[in-house]
Amino acid sequence: MSDFENKPGVPENGAFFPRDLEMHPPAFYPDYKTSVLRSPKHARLSLNNTISEMTGPVFGHNMLGELDNDLIHNFAEAGQSAIGERIIVYGKVLDERGVGVPGALLEVWQANAGGRYRHKKEGYIAPLDPNFGGCGRVITDEQGNYRFRTVKPGPYPWPNRVNDWRPSHIHFSIFGHAFAQRLITQMYFEGDPLIWTCPIVATIPDKRDIERLVAPLDMANTIPMDARAYKFDIVLRGRRSTYFENRREGN
């Protein structure tokens, strides 16, 4: 893989590898009923990357508050903490070449330990936790690593078919270095039987790709008497390197 490494001086301005639309969920998936009227019917128009997609906003570590990566405390009253199973979620953001992505902004959101979101449109009877807001953010380090602390979210029922329940999950929004890499996904937890009954999970066609969203319990990174750890690596689109300049179209 060393040929692909992001060496200083090698411009990272090649186009991104095309997105594998067969791997991602299709727009139209009737078991997830909301997708029916919200799925474009035309094929997406394929377009070579231009500078408009190969660039993107970069967010500096200085925007982060001290508790941004600590959902147990970032909304809690002084001296209080969120209720629930204390966990650490950590991992690495890589691109498809296996290169760590430094400076990636991850924004995460989730239900509380009882499966309830702090949101106006939320109707589940489980109680709010006064000390839990449900959002956090972190920026990857030089190697692409990140970690945050939270409580394990509870599963929750949702109006779709008569008795659909979401497995425990954390939503992730990721900014890499380019708008072409923009991605929103969800992390699930090893061993949760609800993963295999959920129509949102099932929008992903291949079981092996679903498994890439399931974070294993990692006892090696667990803090004894404090918090268990779950590992979740994220892969963003990779790009061609430009050791040899492409012949420019039209020249």
Verify whether residue 90 is a known catalytic residue: no
Residue by residue, what is the 3-state secondary structure of 213-232?
CEECECHHHCECCCEEEEEC
Contact yes or no for 131/151 (Cβ under 8 A): no
Indicate the SS3 state at residue 193. Answer: helix
> Any contact of residue 20 with other proteins (CB under 8 A)?
yes
Verify whether residue 117 is a known catalytic residue: yes
Which of 5, 6, 10, 38 lies at the binding interface for other proteins (CB under 8 A)? Answer: 38
Q: Could you say which of 29, 32, 90, 117 is catalytic?
A: 117
Which of 8, 9, 30, 42 lies at the binding interface for other proteins (CB under 8 A)? Answer: 42
Q: Is 250 left (phi over 0), alpha (psi -120 to 50) or beta?
A: left
> Residue 52's Cα: distance from chain center in Å?
23
Which of 84, 90, 92, 95 lies at the binding interface for other proteins (CB under 8 A)? Answer: 95
Tokens of 55: 């660039």
Tell me which amino acid residue 242 is.
T
The nearer residue to other proteins, 125 or 184, going by C-beta atoms, is 184
The nearer residue to other proteins, 88 or 110, going by C-beta atoms, is 110
Indicate the SS3 state at residue 207. Answer: helix
Indicate the SS3 state at residue 210. Answer: helix
The nearer residue to other proteins, 145 or 222, going by C-beta atoms, is 145
Tokens of 74: 């970032």
Binding mask 99-138 for other proteins (x = CB under 8 A): --------xxx-------xxxxxx----------xxxxx-
Binding mask 74-93 for other proteins (x = CB under 8 A): xx------------------
49-68 binders of other proteins (CB under 8 A): 49-59, 63, 65, 67-68
170-199 binders of other proteins (CB under 8 A): 171, 173, 177-180, 182-186
Q: Dihedral (C-alpha) 189, 194, 197, 198: value to the nearest 10 degrees?
A: -60
Q: Is 10 left (phi over 0), alpha (psi -120 to 50) or beta?
A: beta
Verify whether residue 166 is a known catalytic residue: yes
Which of 36, 130, 190, 223 lies at the binding interface for other proteins (CB under 8 A)? Answer: 36
> Any contact of residue 46 with other proteins (CB under 8 A)?
yes
d(CA 146, CA 94): 11
Instruction: With CB under 8 A as the rule, give the number of residues binding other proteins.
Output: 94
Which of 8, 37, 191, 243 lies at the binding interface for other proteins (CB under 8 A)? Answer: 37
Q: Could you say which of 73, 149, 169, 239 is catalytic?
A: 169
Q: Mention every residue, 6+ apart, whose C-beta is less than 8 A from residue 47.
A: none
> Any contact of residue 153 with other proteins (CB under 8 A)?
no
The nearer residue to other proteins, 59 or 222, going by C-beta atoms, is 59
Q: Which DSSP state fits 203?
A: G
Q: Please list the active-site residues.
A: 117, 156, 166, 169, 171
